[in-house]
Amino acid sequence: MKASSIKKQKTKQKTVDVFLIAFVFIIACFVAFPLFWMLRSSLVTKAEFFTRPPVFWPETMQFINFSKAMDLIDFGRQLFNSLSIAVPYVIGNIITCSVSAYAFARIKFPLRNFWFICIIATMMLPSAVTLIPQYTMYTSFGWVGQNAAFGGKLPLILPAFLCSGGNAYFVFLLRQFFSTIPKDLDEAAKIDGAGRFRIFVQIMLPLIKPALVVVALFSFINCWNEFFYTLIYLQGEKSYTLSLGLYMVNGIRLSNFEQVMALAVIVTLPCLVFFLIGNKYLVEGITLTGIKG
């Protein structure tokens, strides 16, 4: 009786596993299909693009669409603009969020929980609410405009170094990760004469590497794909990013849609590459942050 019941239970579990795998596969196909169709559309000819019913895959892949797509915009300058914003933004997020999270997780100071709740509460504040005050403040500082410092990019970069601009989630993520590290390590380091800064840099940061990769990955993707704030603060085509360049190309209603799709693939590619590289750390970081609340 026991053997038969165990066998039935295993059979039931296998059936459930197969159902779940099939369900996840179907969802993955729905999610991945727009990316596949974008790639397919970037490799077809103009005639194949407008063919009805649609061609599922081109007869001859038109890689020349990518070179023509880069000629539609000032690709080199806009790539530099995107990187000059995204790289400092990622660095600023890592520094400010890790320091803030370490303070909330390991240092006792007055009203610590209250200030942490205030930071988390900012996640519920729509960005449109602070848009006008921020724009007015940055304009009064002389940071907006074609003649502003760093080409008007400071309003997009500086918030990352001030632990503002939507970084509350990253502070929460890193704080949860710091909470999983035994406090015995801090005490042992203090006995050896290490101060707060040395403990943070030499002990804590190496231990939260997966979480830092998650923060860097999300920060890069958010900044690289940013459109709303770049449209507001970046004035003049010389300061445009790739996302704005793609928008301008799409907005002039070109008939060469296959080249527009090729440009969309180029703009999307860095995010996809970084995601594939950091996928291991992404899963590990998000999993470990839920171990201890």
Q: Which two tokens stand for residue 164?
A: 């503002």
What per-residue confidence (pLDDT) applies to 87?
92
For the segment 205-222, the average pLDDT, to the nearest whole number, is 87
Burial-class residue 108 by CB neighbours within 10 Å (0-12, 13-18, 19+): exposed
Arithmetic mean of pLDDT, 97-112: 88
Output 237 or 38, whichever has higher pLDDT.
Answer: 38
**Which has more pLDDT, 13 or 86?**
86
Mean pLDDT on 45-70 = 84
pLDDT at 166 over 60: no
Can you give the pLDDT at residue 161?
A: 80
pLDDT at 291: 46
Instruction: State residue 2's pLDDT score.
Output: 56
- Mean pLDDT, to the nearest integer, of 50-55? 81
The pLDDT of residue 283 is above 80: no
Q: How many angstroms separate the CA atoms of 88 and 157, rounded?
A: 6
Q: What is the mean pLDDT of residues 237-260?
A: 79
Number of Cβ atoms within 10 Å of the Cβ of 118: 11
Burial of 246 (0-12, 13-18, 19+ CB in 10 A): buried
The pLDDT value recorded for residue 27 is 93
- Token pair for 181: 């590290």
Distance CA 14, CA 22 (A): 12
Q: Stretch 172-196: mean pLDDT, rounded?
A: 84
Rounded Cα distance between 122 and 287, Å, is 24
- Nearest CA to 175 out of 105, 99, 96, 92 is that of 105
Mean model confidence pLDDT for the chain: 83
Q: Look at phi and psi of residue 81 and say left if phi exceeds 0, alpha if psi is from -120 to 50, else beta.
A: alpha
* Contact assessment for residue 11 and residue 19, using Cβ atoms and an 8 Å cutoff: no
Q: Is 264's pLDDT higher than 80?
A: yes
Q: How confident is the model at residue 126 (pLDDT cuts 50, 70, 90)?
A: confident
CA-based R_g, the chain, Å: 24
- Predicted pLDDT at 26: 93
